[in-house]
Structure 1
Amino acid sequence: MLLKRISVLLTISCGFIGCTQTPPISKAISSHPIQPTTFSPQSSLLPPASYQAWLLQSGHQFKVQAYKNFLAQQRVEFVVPDFEMFRSARDWQQCHYDEYDVPDPSVWGNAVATLRLLKYLHDQGIVNNIEVTSSYRSPYLNLCAGGAKTSSHLLNSAIDFRIGSPQPSGQEQLEIQADKLKLCKFWQQQGQSWRMGLGIYNTGQIHIDTQGFRTWGPDHTWHSSLCGEIIL
C-alpha cells in the first residue's frame, strides 16, 4: 500500500499513558448519526470467577448497576462483556489494587462519547475481535502505574483494547495490521469531528479517547504513530 507522510503542523507530546496537545484543538463537536440502542450484554462470554467474586464484595454489584443504569439513560452500551469494561489497569497487582473498579460518579458522563465512538467503530466493522484491557483508573492507580497526570483514563474517557489474541499467529498479525490501518484511516478522515485521540503501541495495545484530536505511537509522540501517514 502506498504511504505518504503527512505534513503535521501540531506538536504532540505524550506521557506513558495519555497525551497533551499544543496548540489545543477547537472543542466544537459535530453531531453524529448515533441510533438509539438497547443497553444489553454484547457477548455470551462467561465472566471469570475473579469478577464474580469481586461483584460480591463491598457493594460492588450495586455500584456496577448504578453506573450501567446511568449509561442506559444516555443510550450507550458496552460492546464487550462487563468484566472487560470494569478492568482497572494491567498493573493492578503490582499496585496492590483491585483487578476491577467502578468509575467515580463525578466522571460517569465522560464515558458517553468514547463508548459511542467504540460502538460506532465496531458497528462499521473498523475494529473487530477486541478485548478491552483498561478503562477508568483511580488517581492512586494511575499514579502507581506511571500514568500521565492528565491521563484521560482519570476522566473515564479512555479505553485501551487489544485486537485479536494475546499471541497472534503470523496470519492473524497481518489481519491485526489491516485493522490498525482501517482505524488510522478513520482517525484521519473522521477523527477530528469525534475529538478522537488514538495511540497505537508496539505491545499491541490501542488507546482511544474523546479528549482531543491527536495521535501517537510507541515513543508517545505523533512521529512514531502509524496514523502519521496517509492511508490510501
Structure 2
Amino acid sequence: MKFISLGSFSIFLSFLALNGCTSEQMVKPATPKTIPKSTSTLTTPATPLTPQIIEQPPTLTIEKTIRQPAPETYTAWLSQVDHQQLVNSYKAFLSRNQADFIVPDYQMLRSARDWQQCNYTEYEVPPAEVWQNAVPTLKLLHYLRQQGIIPNVEVTSSYRSPFLNKCAGGARTSSHVKNAAIDFRIGPEQPTPEDEILIHNTKMKLCRFWQQNGKAFNMGLGVYESGQIHIDTLGYRTWGYSHSWRSSLCGEIIPE
C-alpha cells in the first residue's frame, strides 16, 4: 500500500511538470517580424497636362450609322428608277475611304431646305465627279462628334446642284455645289430655354475647336443665330449671319 502511494504521487508530479511546460509554450508571445522600409518612392508627382494643338488631321475610325426609320418620302424616292443603285454606289465609295455616314442616309441625301420653292427633288445623290470632296468633311463631322464637340445633330443639307443652289440664293462658288459642305442643326427647330443653353455652349465649343485646330482640317465654319451650323473643308475661315467674319462668334478668343 505504501509503495502504491509513492508511485501514484510520482506519476502525479510528472503530470504536473508536463502540463506546466505545455502551458508555458502556449502563452509565450511571438516575436514580431521586422518589415524593412522601402527605400523607393511609391508615388511620383503628377506631371501637369498641357493642351496639344493638332498639327495634322488624325486618322479617324468611322462608326457605322445607327439606323433610324426613314420618312415615307425618302422610301418612295428610293424606289424610283435607279436611285437605290446610285445610293449604294456612293456609300460604297465613302466606305472605302473611311468616310461612312454617321447620320441616317435620308439626312445626308437631302438636297436643300428650299427644294419645294424651286420645284426640285427632295433627295439627290451627288454626281460621281464630286464624291471625293465629301470625304474630308464627313471625317471632320465624325471627329467633332467623337470628341464631344457637338451632340447628336440633324443634317439638313449637303450636296446642292448648281440649279438648286442658284434658285436658293446660294453663292456661285458655294462649297455645297462642290459636295464639300454639310449643314446641320443643333437642337430642335423650336428650342426651349434649356435647348438654347445647349445650342450656345455647342457654338462656343465649335469656335474654340476652329480657333485651335481649324487650320489642320482646312475648316470653314459658319455659325448662325439659330441652331444652324455650316462646316466644310475648303479653307480656314469663319462667318456669321451677315456672311462676314465680323458677325461670327468665333471672331473673338473663346476662353477655355
Q: TM-score, normalised by structure 1?
A: 0.84
1:171 aligns with 2:194: yes
Aligned to 1:180: 203
Amino acid at match of 2:157: S
The share of aligned pairs that are identical, in percent, is: 57
Equivalent residue of 1:108, what SS? helix
| Counterparts of residues 1-232 of structure 1 (less than 5 Å) | 31-37=56-62, 40=64, 42-232=65-255
Rounded to whole Å, the distance in 1 between the matches of 2:126 and 2:55 is: 27
- Conserved? CA contact 1:34–1:116, under 8 Å: no
Rounded to whole Å, the distance in 2 between the matches of 1:203 and 1:94 is: 21
Amino acid at match of 1:49: E
Larger Rg: 2
Indicate the structure with greater strand content: 1
Rounded to whole Å, the distance in 1 between the matches of 2:225 and 2:152 is: 18
Indicate the structure with greater helix content: 2
- Conserved? CA contact 2:126–2:179, under 8 Å: yes
Aligned length: 202
Alignment root-mean-square deviation, CA = 1.3
Amino acid at match of 2:56: S
- Tell me by how many angstroms 1:35 deviates: 3.2
Q: Gaps spanning 5+ residues in structure 2: where?
A: 1-53
Amino acid at match of 1:53: A
Amino acid at match of 1:187: W
* Cα-to-partner distance string for 1:190-211 (whole Å, 9 max, x where unaligned): 0011100000112321100000
Q: TM-score, normalised by structure 2?
A: 0.77
* Greater relative contact order structure (CA < 8 Å, 6+ sep): 1
- Tell me by how many angstroms 1:30 deviates: 5.5
Any runs of at least 4 consecutive aligned residues in structure 1 with deviations exceeding 4 A, and if so which? none
Q: Gaps spanning 5+ residues in structure 1: where?
A: 1-28
- Conserved? CA contact 2:155–2:182, under 8 Å: yes
